[in-house]
A and B are shown apart, each in its own frame.
Chain A
Amino acid sequence: MTAPETSIKNRPQFINVRVLRQDEPGAKSYWELHKIKYEREMNVISVLQRIAAQATTVDGKKVTPVAWDCGCLEEVCGSCTMVINGRVRQSCSALVDRLLADNPDEIVLEPMTKFPVVRDLMVDRARLFRSLKRIQGWVPVDSYYNLGPGERIPREDQERNYPLSQCMSCGCCLDACPQYQKIELTQNEGESDEEFEQRQNAEFDEAFIGAAAISQAMLFNNHPTGKALAAERLEALSGPGGITTCGNAQNCVAVCPKEIPLTRSIARTGRATTLHAIKKWFER
């Protein structure tokens, strides 16, 4: 990433930031306009820090600080993902000077649209992690015994796997996907946490799994130890909400901040599940 142009003339004095806020899960969302002083080389995180510090809207009304999530501040953790000027991305790598070049009037911040909002710009991405469990997105070794050195991975496989391994589970691909719909359940009265989680997982497991988990399945199916679970992963992807729900809109690959070849993973899953289904048919 190159440093933004610092010699821009006509730098604004103030920046208008419109934030879609929500006080608690399930509550009604509302817009709030904040005005902060322009500084050089800001990103959306530093904008949010200023907003939290002043906690006052443009009308001078005192409000609670806008809540958001962040972690690494270098686009590798995915926790600060939100919808910025209508497009889902990480707020740490969303540079204010570039945003103002596209739209000098204001910066619009919304929470991700496909996950339940916890508060303001924070969302609950439990479904994404559940989807990784669905496809058993791991290498099955428990380190109980010394298994010796692992199998050599040919360079071709390394080059194919490395881009897929960059996935940080940010959920951009899911937020932009027209086939991935929001699931937001509320805990019933008298329902224990375990019962609620079970009900929620049952719902997640039949809904579309999404590009991120499909791609992780291809990553681990191409790993010398990970492929021990290949048939189980393909079975999961052939089930309800699996690969067939994909509608080939290909937004996933267009919005992925790590430029992971997600549509290639999807097509490879299409091929693998085709072969898996034929094999299963004849082995029955």
Chain B
Amino acid sequence: MAELTRSQSFFIRHEFGIRRLHSLLGIVPLGLYMCIHLVTNASLMGGAAPFQHAVFWIHSLGPALPILEWGGIFLPLLFHAIIGVWIIRTGKSNTSQYSFTSNKRYKWQRWTGLIAFVFLMFHVLHLHGWFHITPWLAVMQPLGFAQFYPYNAASSLAAAMDQWIWGFWPAFYLVGVMATVYHLANGLWTAGITWGLWTSATAMQRATKVCTVFGVLLGMVALTAWWAAVSMGPADIAAAREKEQEMYDAAVATGLAFDDPHKRAGNDHAEPLSEVDVEAVIIEETIVVEPDSQ
């Protein structure tokens, strides 16, 4: 390699550190965060209340939350994904010639990584919106992105799943989350080799079993979370919104939630409201009136 650009030579000089960082970030914080995220979402199976409770708790971090989101999730994710794409480019899969299981796992690890990258980019855009800056949101929200309102967690999540062509987002999330679960479970196994945790063939086989059990369990949690979000009908959404309003008032009173209209659905956003939203807003208003009348 005669002529290298500065960034290329930087990369080559620090390849070991960069690749080890890539491996580490995949587990902590990304893998760990993913487990917490999926378990939190699976709590929606128990109704809007436990889910809303968990979201309040997460959002009680207040102004520190964006720092955690960017420093602990988005930046590690971008680093892991960009280095991952570079790693994929260094390899040339040959499963048609050598169809060993481990060779297929190598190929799937790369494919699921790519799927997870695309999925997560759109998932964050769809629900979180990436940037919580008003002009950005003013463009993105009418386009159907940045649809999650933490103080109306269950109802806004379920409504967002029902957008666009029927079944698009549910299918997108199902494929995306399953690919990500495989990527994490198999990635744990390869990380164990990378760091030298399991070295012998028998230890690797044992680790495969452990990682498979972990992947299946996490996959079941993910399916639960997915089903809880996509199975809610308009009536469930309206009921959830009523419950959320009740919890919001209580949370504001006890200091768990902040009076932040930005985190509430349908309050001051100039977006066109869908039928579900209109229904929900009406319900919301009747309840908002209540404390004043007492």
Chain A interface (Cβ within 8 Å of chain B)?
Answer: 86-87, 176, 178-179, 181, 199, 202-203, 206, 208, 238-240, 242-251, 253-255, 261, 263-264, 266-274, 277
Contacts and interface: CB of A to CB of B under 8 A. Distances in A.
Contacts of B195: 270-271, 274
A263 B103 contact: no
Interface in B224-280: none
Chain A interface mostly:
helix
B61 interface: no
Interface string B6-27: 0000001101110110000000
B294 interface: no
A268 B199 contact: yes
Contact of A251 (B19, B103, B194, B204): B103
A244 B15 contact: yes
B106 interface: yes
Contact of B94 (A176, A243, A263): A176
B100 A254 contact: yes
B293 interface: no
Contacts of A264: 199-201
A263 B92 contact: no
Contacts of B190: 248
Nearest to A206: B1
A273 B199 CA distance: 13
B88 to A, nearest CB: 9
A251 B91 contact: no
A248 B94 contact: no
A247 B106 contact: yes
Interface string B194-209: 1111111100100000
A179 B196 CA distance: 19
Chain B interface mostly:
helix
A254 B102 contact: yes
Nearest to B4: A206
Interface residues of B, number: 35
B91 A274 contact: no
A201 to B, nearest CB: 12
B286 interface: no
B193 interface: yes
B5 to A, nearest CB: 15
Contact of A248 (B2, B97, B106, B197): B106
A270 B2 CA distance: 29
Given A206-B12, A251-B103, A271 B201 contact: no
Contacts, number: 106
A271 B196 CA distance: 4
Contact of B100 (A202, A243, A246, A250): A250
Contacts of B17: 277
A87 B195 CA distance: 31
Interface in B56-94: 87, 90-94
B98 interface: yes
A59 B276 CA distance: 76
A244 B103 CA distance: 17
A177 to B, nearest CB: 9
Contacts of A249: 100, 102-103, 105-107
A171 B232 CA distance: 58
A86 B97 contact: yes
A245 B90 contact: yes
Contacts of B200: 261, 264, 267
B204 A263 contact: yes
Contacts of B92: 178, 181
B201 A261 contact: yes
A270 B94 contact: no
B289 to A, nearest CB: 61
A244 B196 contact: no
Q: Which one of B13, B102, B199, B204 has the greatest number of beta carbons of chain A within 10 Å?
A: B199
B90 A248 contact: no
B16 A270 contact: no
Contact of A238 (B16, B106, B107, B199): B16
Contacts of B100: 249-251, 254
Given A247-B87, A254-B102, A263-B201, A274 B196 contact: yes
Contacts of B13: 240
Nearest to B93: A178
30 contacts: A178-B91, A178-B103, A181-B90, A206-B1, A239-B16, A240-B13, A242-B15, A244-B16, A244-B20, A244-B194, A245-B90, A247-B106, A248-B105, A248-B189, A249-B100, A249-B105, A251-B94, A254-B98, A255-B98, A261-B200, A267-B199, A267-B200, A267-B204, A268-B196, A269-B196, A270-B196, A273-B196, A274-B20, A274-B196, A277-B17
A255 B199 CA distance: 19
Nearest to A203: B1
